[in-house]
Amino acid sequence: MKLAELTSSDLIILDQSYSTKDEVFDAVAERLIKAKIIPDKVDFEKALYAREKESPTGLENGIAIPHAKSSAISRPVFAVVRSTTVIDGWESLSPDNNVSLIFLLAIPEKSAGDFHVELLAKLSRAMLNKDFITSVKNATQVEEVINALDRVDATEKNKATTNEHATSKKGLILGVTACPTGIAHTYMAAEAIEKTAKEMGYDVYVEKQGANGIEDRPSKELVKKADGLIIAADVDLHEMNYYAGLPYISVPVSTPIKDAKSLINQVLNHPDGKFTTVEDDEEEGPSNKKKSIGTEMYQALMSGISYMIPIVVGAGLMSAIPQIGGLLYGLKPGTISNIAYATSSNSILQFLYNFNSFGGFIFSLMYPVLAAFIAYAIAGKVGLAPGFIGGGLAGGLIYTVNGIKDHVSSGFLGAICVGLVAGYFCRFLNQKIKLSKNIQSLKPMLIIPLLSIILVYVLNLYIFEPIGGGLNKLLVDIIGQSTGSYFIAIVIALATAFDMGGPFNKAAFAVTLALAADHTFPMTANILGCIIPPLGIGASVILNQHVFKRDIYDDSLVAAGYTSFISGIIGISEGAIPFALRDPLITIPLNMVGSAIAAVVATFFKVKIWFPIPQFWGWPLVEGLLPYLLSLLIGVLFVAIGNIMIRDHIAKRKIKVSKKQSVAV
């Protein structure tokens, strides 16, 4: 493909003044309509904003590459927009990126596969071409931009392809790059390594693990000749045992873009070590990268929680649907779980009972999945089986299967401990047990599962269960006291509201869910802490715009405020993040205090929410809906009015300081 053929003079906009992303999208949409590439703005802009929600499209050096995929787009094109002013609030991978140059892609749905990725990759590589960027930024005529694109196409065509023959006397550098989206930074990092290595006189070959999977993998012959391996990645890599034995360094994917030369010198002179992977696990990254035990355990825990959350959400929905169905049939809340409905003459009630039991079954998988993926994050595939089985023990499944009631299992704490032990023990066995090639398969299939499963059973029976069960019982006793309930509600609300979808939020969710699963403590405080920050911030913008009318929010934050309010209605905390990033010392404390106040009010009125459903459609399942809505309103108004008052006070203070300085001058 040729870049110059995918745009036109009508789609190149130079030296217009745009202050928001909306204005840019609107201007490009107008041009595309005139060119008969799209019929109207609606579907096109909807596709653009849908992509913006997935991950930042801003890069570095003032550049952004937004893109839309839609069946309404007639043919693939891209527009170039150069703004005379910096566009506010454009989310970028580099925090200090002030966007003013935009390459906007419009891709038909039918071309959304390899073609889309190839175009993005080619543009991303062009972003590292200083001559190209300088030409576009300095162009006075549209034709100069077209000519710059032609030169990029010519450079791509004439690009040296001598890597497979490695003729440089200096040596050969290999690289592997990968970023979360698998597009922009993956190819930009690869281009930076390739360009710099060649300038330094080295042969170079870089593998890209991007949206199209593994691309440009070097031959085994090149791997044997290589002097070093640069791994630039922000995600887990695949099939990395291919590079075992090479001197390597591992860095974030953005590092080569900023300074590839120092990385090449480092991998040649001071590598992190010889690259190895956990044997028999093709998806494991470098196991000998120096990392503190605390960091590794924390990352493993977060990994386990992230895999557990979809199970929990599914379980909550599968349990909530029959509960709501029971309410429609006039049943009291929670009574659909009565075993009498299992043999009811009403087939619908019988179905709802079984559906509710299905939700309970999914809940029982919560601890096995948590422990399994904690172990997997540490040991790879060999950790899955003992982790899953140990998690089942922690969740008390063995007692459920055998009909033993009223037994306190090790629960959430036990599942975490089992996952960590299984992970480290399996990794130890995998690294230390050496077998001949003829019987190598016995290690992952027999020896490691046998020893690790026995270990987690014994440890759970004699250590985790007595300790974890005792702590669980103690927690139940504390919660049974009114003061204890208030304390736990406040702590959960504070942690949930602190980072809006981040690690503290997820940890609070996991702990609360564990308590709610046993009907020990409801999820009320967690749900309030989840939705009050986005609702409060959104309400702040709306109230200020229509009631208080203070000059405290710019246009980009006003738009973000409405988005935040909508996200709060559907139970998404992340809508408040733009405000927290802009003014963390105002936003975060208000979110936390507002959530804690609401949690105290809800606890006082004995509001109970047992299902992880923060959205408004979960309201029928709330025990004490009116006091719940009251506590929610109090928390939202505290955050909203608090933001307005504090921001207005700061704005007025700045004006006074400015006036004093003017008088002094």
Q: What is the mean pLDDT of the chain?
A: 83
- Side chain identity, residue 98: N
Residues 267 and 407 reside in one and the same domain:
no
Side-chain half-sphere exposure of 424, counting CA atoms within 13 A? 9
Is residue 444 located within the same domain as residue 501? no
Lowest mean pLDDT among 328-332, 501-505, 605-609: 501-505
pLDDT at 120 over 80: no
Q: In what helix (H) or strand (E) does residue 542 lie, and over which residues does it extend? A: helix 524-543
Residues 460 and 516 in one domain: no
Rounded CA Rg of the chain:
29
Lowest mean pLDDT among 3-12, 322-331, 504-513: 504-513
Q: Catalytic residue among 179, 417, 426, 530, which?
A: 179
Instruction: Point out the domain boundary residue: 157, 181, 203.
Output: 157
Is residue 287 in a domain? no
Instruction: Lowest mean pLDDT of 3-12, 153-162, 414-423, name the range.
Output: 153-162
Does the residue 163 lie in any domain? no
Q: 494 lies in a domain?
A: yes
User: Residues 124, 127, 131, 133: what is their CA dihedral angle, to the nearest 10 degrees?
Assistant: 130
pLDDT digits over 179-207, tens only? 765 666 787 788 889 889 988 989 899 99
**Residue 379 belongs to some domain of the structure:** yes
Which of these, 533, 581, 446, 455, lies nearest to 88 by C-alpha position? 581
So what's the pLDDT on residue 248?
A: 93
Identify the CA nearest to 490 among candidates 536, 532, 528, 531.
528
Specify whether 18 is located in the same domain as 108.
yes
Same domain? For 630 and 499 the reply is yes
Instruction: Print the domain residue range for 308.
Output: 293-469
Q: What angle do CA 567, 568, 573 make, to 5 degrees?
A: 85
Domains contained in the chain, number: 4
Same-domain check for residues 183 and 216: yes
Whether 530 is catalytic is: no
Residue 284 — very low, low, confident or very high, per pLDDT cuts 50/70/90?
very low
CA distance to 251, 335, 347, 349, 356, per residue, from 342 (Å): 57, 12, 9, 8, 11
